[in-house]
Amino acid sequence: MTTTSDTLLLDSTAAARLLGLGRSTFWRLHSAGRVPLPVRLGRRTLWRAEELRKWVEAGCPPRGQWEVAKGKG
């Protein structure tokens, strides 16, 4: 069985679960530019699990600030 802890890419349901949010709340935050950018694989929109963890450790900054901070690391 695959768990969120050993999955590299997460769909919106799993990403929301990882963050302790509901899926619709997660999508609202994504639309508002409050979560890291996803990756697209075909028609799927997925988030990097490790990036979400690091984003939380950084205090959940807005996407623009996160992208700048990420570039410095």
pLDDT digits (tens, 9 = 90+) for 53-68: 999 999 999 999 999 9
CA distance 32 to 72: 23
CA distance 31 to 51: 18
pTM: 0.87
Give the 3-state DSSP-derived string for 3-43, with helices as H, strands as E and coil as C: CHHHCCEECHHHHHHHHCCCHHHHHHHHHCCCCCCCEEECC
One pLDDT digit (tens) per residue for the chain, 73 residues: 455 567 899 999 999 999 999 999 999 999 999 999 999 999 999 999 999 999 999 999 999 999 999 887 5
So where are the chain's domains? 4-72
Fold classification of 4-72 is: Arc Repressor Mutant, subunit A (1.10.10)
| 45-68: b (≥16 Cβ within 10 Å) or e | bbbbbebbeebeeeeeeebeebee
